Amino acid sequence: MSFAKLVSRADARRQSSYFTPGSYVVRVDDFKEGTNRKGRDYVVLETTVLDSSDLNEAPAGCQRSWLLMCDVDSTARNVRGMLCAVLNIGNDELTLEMITKALEPDADTQVSSLAGLKAFVHARNVTTQKGGVYTLLNFTGVSDDVESLEQVAK
């Protein structure tokens, strides 16, 4: 088979980086579950940056992902917080049905029902008790018309 045919049949690799410290307005592209090469289950929120506090590091149009391993104690709590923020609902309003719908790809689009929703993300580095560093993300829901950090501040 020619290389051109291989390329024509391949899925494009998503050119994404993880969030780095800063503030972002993002549009959700997908939210899904998966398993890595070592057999660990994860969830990933894939986004497109609409605006950021560091346009050199994260220009509008670039992609950022939030990857969490399912076997980490804090993952369920962190995902629940993100879902409540992106859906603009309270903790008590989030149902199992809503969580399942967010994680299962739509039959027509093959992406999460969260796709197209927008959020404000504040990312900061946190040092663990063991001295490791990870990036903590806090999500806030925003209206569909928000495109910039300036609009979030109003």
What is the per-residue pLDDT across 9-37, written as a single tens digit (0 to 9) for each? 877 666 669 999 999 999 999 999 999 99
To the nearest 10°, report the CA torsion of 81, 83, 86, 89: -80
Name the residue ranges covered by the structural domains of the chain. 14-153
Determine the 3-state secondary structure of 75 from DSSP.
helix
Gyration radius (Cα) of the chain, Å? 17
Record the pTM.
0.88
What is the per-residue pLDDT across 75-93, written as a single tens digit (0 to 9) for each? 999 999 999 999 999 999 9
